[in-house]
A and B are shown apart, each in its own frame.
Chain A
Amino acid sequence: KAGVTQTPRYLIKTRGQQVTLSCSPISGHRSVSWYQQTPGQGLQFLFEYFSETQRNKGNFPGRFSGRQFSNSRSEMNVSTLELGDSALYLCASSPWSSRSGYTFGSGTRLTVV
């Protein structure tokens, strides 16, 4: 059974640009959530999608957005990149929203220069 797949693995962008990250959940999983991990802040919740609907959103500015498609694949977009957006972005999937353990992907390492 394939795990959670995130692409790309690494990304370098310049300030002011925008970026789109992709996450393919485990087959059959309908909940996808996104997290930002930095050395100073740890893992912080960005948002969660369930059946194409955003169910919950963390305390991040509007530059961070996401969506989920009918096949449960999800994308997150960050516009007007700032240096502080450099982080490991992790996606996690679950069969049900918050009712079982979440399986994480290997993440996308974003570096903003």
Chain B
Amino acid sequence: EDKVVQSPLSLVVHEGDTVTLNCSYEVTNFRSLLWYKQEKKAPTFLFMLTSSGIEKKSGRLSSILDKKELFSILNITATQTGDSAVYLCAVTSGSRLTFGEGTQLTVNP
């Protein structure tokens, strides 16, 4: 059975801190790994990673995939209170997404 594990499950930081969120996976027929941010209802798409070692960046957020070790990290630098959310990691296997439990990030002013 496909499995995605995120750590930590919860994280509280102060504005300006840098955080690293982890995602490890065990799936058959891996196609891609995706990161989403969920604040209220709809998860919003952040990154899709398909190749090892290629960093994807968007502003203060960046992510990288290691297909040999089966994990990915999401980095957020200079955190802001608006970064407070649940960050979800998901892996596509065939036509389904398998999600991790998510990391609840709280950024305090």
Binding site for B on A (CB under 8 A): 3-4, 31, 33, 35, 42-45, 48, 50, 55-56, 58, 88, 90, 92, 97-107
- B71, chain A: closest CB distance, angstroms: 18
List A contacts of B106 (CB < 8 A).
Answer: none
Label chain A's interface by main secondary structure: strand
Q: Is the CB of B45 within 8 A of A45?
A: no
Min distance, Cβ B65 to any Cβ of chain A, angstroms: 14
A-B contacts at CB below 8 angstroms, number: 62
Which residue of chain B has the shortest Cβ distance to A44 in the bound complex?
A: B99
Given contacts A98-B94, A98-B95, A103-B45, 4 further A-B contacts (CB under 8 A): A42-B99, A48-B96, A99-B31, A102-B34
Contact string, B35-67, partner A, CB cutoff 8 A, digits 1/0? Answer: 010001111110010000000000000000000
- Say if the beta carbon of B83 comes within 8 Å of chain A: no
Residues from chain A with a CB closer than 8 A to the CB of B41 are: 88, 90, 106-107
> Does the CB pair B97–A45 fall under 8 Å?
yes
B interface residue numbers (CB < 8 A to A): 31-32, 34, 36, 40-45, 48, 88, 90, 92, 94-102
Q: Are A102 and B42 in contact, CB atoms less than 8 angstroms apart?
A: no
Tell me the bound Cα distance from A88 to B99 in angstroms: 15
Cα of A77 to Cα of B88 in the assembled complex, Å: 26
If A42-B100, A106-B41 touch, whether A101 touches B95 (CB-CB below 8 Å) is no
**How many whole Å from B90's CB to the nearest CB in chain A?**
8
SS class of chain B's interface: helix, strand, loop or mixed? strand
* Residues of B contacting A55 in the complex (Cβ-Cβ under 8 angstroms): 94-95
- The CA-CA distance from A35 to B44 in the complex, in Å, is 15
Query: In the complex, A42 Cα to B36 Cα: how many Å?
Result: 13
A102/B97 in contact, CB under 8 A: yes
